[in-house]
Chain A
Amino acid sequence: MKKRSPTLRKAKNLLALLSAGLSAAIGIFFLIWILWEITDKGISSINWEFFTELPTPPGEPGGGLGNAILGSVIITLIATLLGVPIGVLAGTYLAEFGHGKFGGLIRFITNTFVSAPSIVVGVFVYAIMVVPMKNFSGLAGGVSLGIIMLPVVTRTTEEILRLVPVGLREAALALGAPYWKMIVSIVYRAARTGMITGIILAVARVSGETAPLLFTALNSPYWPSGLTEPMANLTVTIFNYAMSPYEDWQAKAWGGAFLITIAILALNIFSRFLAQRGTKG
């Protein structure tokens, strides 16, 4: 065996650990910088009017992003209504029935889809909904976010259902419960907290998406008036306002950015809290 000098080994060790510490410091520095900027520039725009008023033209003081906030909530709601039921059922299929080759294929596509570029989903929904309906619409925005949500929900549902002990299922089946009843009233109930956590995380994930809304929901300066009309939403408004040359619009964009960051972090922390409570009790 080759003999290595202890001093050299110690020096190497020190160097490697120093660079690990340094990279952690660099990473943490940038991330704190980003959070600081968002809070510093965004928090001053947040007031009551920000939530309740329509945006004003550039140069006019006051106004808010009430329509965009409401629109984002509506679009996310549509996405949840579409993505969650199909996603939960698809996850159930993968966990309970999909053990063969076909299940493997579906699992493979789902996992790949999770990180597929969201802007392509926007283009796709533009092609199948906006073109035939000849109109940008809040509904199209909801559908594109729903498509992004679907694989996320499918994957977490499968992971959670697999954690339910086989013994529970066998006990239910041994009592004569039909398969569907075993799944609905035993497996779903045992996995309830985990499934809810997964769904909240999926909602948080899509509510920050901008790219798929650019050519589906578009944007609008008015209150949402119907699902087949272009619909104001927070993320596209942030994009448009931030890119505008007007300082008061840019300030609103920072306010929106702050709001959405807080909302998403809160959803994430809430889901963690739920998950932790679930494992304890």
Chain B
Amino acid sequence: MPRPSKRRSNDIIEVLFQFLTRFSGSFILILLLIMLASLTWEAWPAIKKFGLRFLISTEWDPVLGNFGALTTILGTLISTALAMLIAVPLAIGVAIFLTELAPQPLRPILGTAIELLAAIPSIIYGMWGLFTLAPVLSEYIQPWMTEHLGFIPLFDGPPMGVGMFTAGLVLSIMILPFMASVIRDCFLMTPQVLKESAYGLGATTWEVIKDVVLPYGKRGVIGGLFLGLGRALGETMAVTFVIGNAHELSWSLFDPANTIASTLANEFTEASDPIYLAALIELALVLFLITFVILGLAEWWLYSANAGGRKS
């Protein structure tokens, strides 16, 4: 039996410990609220001056002090859509290869390699995009595409190497390892018995994947795709290097463009005018809200995947 004084000090520590953990747990909620409040506060001059017009105007004129976010919002959405269009099928293909096709002893090694590649910082992808990929694109790929696909306005433009197309490509390569490893984890959760039963009924490998593995891990796969989407939306460095930074809307994917994140990276430290700075901070707020809604939906989707359906 502990002595009474020791017991009291234990009680105090107990209360203190519980308070500390509870406070730290609540800290992230407090942080989120402060973040929203301070970004709104700093962006207020722009919110008051431009109102909802900010979201639909394509004007971006630091000299006259007129700002609209549409060009950058569309740039963010288009570059992300492009990246997803390229990366999603590839990621699913890589995951299938890693779980069903690769020689058995190679599987864990390749799986680890993919996870390691997902850890490489985005600035590396951006640099590689600018110095290695862009020259190749402008020299060979883009002229070829203009010649053969130029009747589509999307592929008709100056082969400069930097622009929306390159940004989408670099983004897709960046999110590929991350998405592939999440999808691979989902595929690995399919019980072996289910797969063996399907094989036993005479199904081909593709039929097993299509009718057993994919439906079984569907929610997890979609959740993983959403996480990749969230990354692409908010990505700064991989995009800033290669998008060309132009506040113009263009039909051609080869033209330079802009995203919210690349605009912030390029212009934030140069913004001397208060209304310019406020407009940039409002851009940050818009980006935060877009990603938070999308990631929140993904999180909710994953949560219901764990709560209902299969039992682990």
Contact = CB atoms under 8 A, between A and B. Distances in A.
A90 B127 contact: no
Contacts of A110: 28
B21 A93 contact: yes
Contacts of B281: 123, 127
22 contacts: A13-B204, A13-B205, A20-B93, A34-B125, A34-B173, A41-B131, A89-B25, A93-B25, A109-B29, A110-B28, A112-B296, A115-B295, A117-B287, A120-B35, A124-B39, A181-B10, A183-B17, A208-B124, A235-B121, A257-B127, A261-B124, A268-B119
A119 B11 CA distance: 43
In this complex, the member of B22, B116, B207, B291 whose beta carbon has the largest number of chain A beta carbons within 10 angstroms is: B22
Question: DSSP majority for the A interface?
Answer: helix
Given A209-B121, A261-B121, A215 B21 contact: no
B119 A205 contact: yes
Interface of B: 2, 10-11, 13-14, 17-18, 20-29, 31-32, 34-35, 38-39, 41-42, 89-94, 96-98, 100-102, 112, 115-117, 119-125, 127-128, 130-132, 173, 176-177, 180, 204-207, 209-210, 227, 230-231, 233-237, 240-241, 261, 264-265, 268-269, 280-281, 284-285, 287-288, 291-292, 295-296, 299-300, 303
Given A86-B27, A210-B121, A272 B112 contact: yes
Given A9-B204, A22-B93, A238-B127, A123 B268 contact: yes
Given A37-B128, A90-B28, A180-B18, 5 more contacts: A24-B94, A89-B25, A106-B28, A115-B230, A151-B28
Give 10 nearest A-B pairs by CB, closest first. Answer: A117-B234, A208-B121, A23-B93, A93-B25, A89-B24, A24-B97, A13-B204, A180-B17, A211-B236, A16-B206
Given A12-B204, A124-B35, A112 B299 contact: yes
A238 B42 contact: no
Given A21-B97, A235-B121, A239-B237, A253 B28 contact: no
Interface string A258-278: 001100110011001000000
Given A90-B24, A124-B38, A147-B31, A26 B90 contact: yes
Nearest to B289: A120
Interface string A1-17: 00000000110110111
Interface bracket on A: 35 or more
Nearest to B263: A119
A246 interface: no
A235 B123 contact: yes
A238 B77 CA distance: 27
